[in-house]
Structure 1
Amino acid sequence: MSPRRGRPHASSQEMLADAACELFLERGYEATSVTEITRRAGVSRSSFFNYFASKSEMLWFVFDARITALEVALRLTNGELGVALREFARGEAPHTLALAITEARTMGVEEELAAGRAARQLRIAAAIEARLRRDGCAALGAEIRAAGYAAALVGTVWRWAALGAGRHRVDELLDEALTVAEGVLAPNC
């Protein structure tokens, strides 16, 4: 019996995302089908849809998990807002997204990244605004501060990717971004 070559048949989000990124780099985002991704990964289409609703979700799954953790932290923690915001830097690094950011033109994902970034930044801002309102901030002040903090969080990930994701830590860049944001945004609503 000869040794097995190629990818293992174990299915995972990371393996599918890796296969997708390879294909996006080779053929472009629009020209790559889910069938081609599953074929490259060595899994069935149903395995793909167990993990993702669409191919665009493969770019965002780690980032989306970070947003969900942030939403939980904002709901459950009391006290310092910065502590809850720093929850965004915990967990797995969004390497698939970083690759897409740095290779957006080659992959053909520029529009997907722009739309996804805007939608996710709004989701983050809504969660922060709800927390600020719960803490007693007036509506307008909460909305403006939340938008600024959301921009700092999302901008941190874009900056981390641009600097070379493997060479920098997201948490250190986020601390820097939040320090800037806290200096610009009034501490009281």
Structure 2
Amino acid sequence: MDTPRRAGRPRAASREILEEAACELFLEQGYDATSVADITSRAGVSRSTFFNYVESKSDLLWARFDDGVERLRATLARLREEVADGGVGHDVGIGGDVATGGDVESREAQARAALATLAADLPPENVALAYTQAGAMGLGEDLRLAEARRLVAVRDALAVHLRTAVSDQLAAQVRATALAGALLAAVREWSLAGVGRPALPAVLARALDCLGPGAATGLDAGTRC
């Protein structure tokens, strides 16, 4: 008679347990003093399970943000596919009634709306904790490196989306970097604002306003930086 195999934890639940364990340990004994073994022991999972979810312990603080970046990438790819297939209309899955056209203005509007959706869906706990408790956790250089990695990930997703609509690839790359920078700056500002802070999408809207209206500022075919 076969012995029934015990069901494992659902993937999302297991990662959440790792996130909670990591945050607890970082606050209790500091980031540098906390090993992967400490985290897996506290979470009650194996080392291999840990690396199934993340590459490093710092990634546990950014896991929800990284999920958002993956959704951002998938949403923008879907919009490009719709245009390539001759689709028309509007997409309401990225924060409002946003045109699905392939022109420059539509592409930047889509990018901004997708960023707003990422901000609206981002759970506040872990990323904010990384900023507000950076000193207590001893994050130091790891926080700056983690920020840089996310900036690059968002920039690359946006650049792919913008590059297909313009002839000036440098302009698209610069604009994508600026939009990604606005998101990370908003996340930092929001995290450090403390109790009574406005919602992250509102802070992001302010950050995006600092960049101007987008295509009208130079992101169009034939315009050089």
- Fold match (TM-score > 0.5): yes
Pair 1:97-2:124 in alignment: no
Matches within 5 A, 1:73-152: 73-77=75-79, 78=100, 79=106, 80-81=109-110, 82-152=112-182
- CA shift for structure 1 position 31: 0.9
2:54 equivalent among 52, 55, 61: 52
Pick the structure with greater CA Rg. Answer: 2
Contact 1:25–1:106, Cα closer than 8 Å, also in 2? yes
- Alignment partner, residue 83 of structure 2: none
Measured in 2, the distance between the counterparts of 1:165 and 1:130 equals 37
Q: Could you list the per-position Cα deviations for residues 98-157 of structure 1 after superposition, in whole angstroms to 9, with x for gaps in the alignment?
A: 101111121111211111111211121122122111122511211111111010011111
- Consecutive unaligned residues of structure 1, counting only runs of 5 or more, are 1-8
Measured in 2, the distance between the counterparts of 1:85 and 1:118 equals 17
Secondary structure, aligned partner of 1:181: coil
Secondary structure, aligned partner of 1:145: helix
Measured in 2, the distance between the counterparts of 1:73 and 1:104 equals 32
TM (norm. structure 2) is: 0.71
Secondary structure, aligned partner of 2:212: helix
Could you say what the CA RMSD is over the residues aligned between the two structures, in angstroms?
Answer: 2.4
State the AA in 2 paired with 1:57: D
- CA shift for structure 1 position 94: 4.5
1:177 equivalent among 194, 204, 207: 207
> Aligned residue pairs: how many?
181
Quick one: structure 1 residues 111 and 138, their matched pair in 2 at CA, closer, same or farther if it must change by over 3 Å? Answer: same
Contact 1:74–1:85, Cα closer than 8 Å, also in 2? no
- CA shift for structure 1 position 179: 2.2
Contact 2:171–2:218, Cα closer than 8 Å, also in 1? no
TM (norm. structure 1) is: 0.83
Measured in 1, the distance between the counterparts of 2:219 and 2:35 equals 49
Farther off after superposition, 117-126 or 71-80 = 71-80
- Consecutive unaligned residues of structure 2, counting only runs of 5 or more, are 1-8, 80-99, 101-105, 221-225
2:39 equivalent among 23, 37, 40: 37
Q: Percent identity?
A: 40
Matches within 5 A, 1:156-175: 156-164=186-194, 167-175=197-205
Q: Could you list the per-position Cα deviations for residues 75-102 of structure 1 after superposition, in whole angstroms to 9, with x for gaps in the alignment?
A: 2233323223323224241421210111
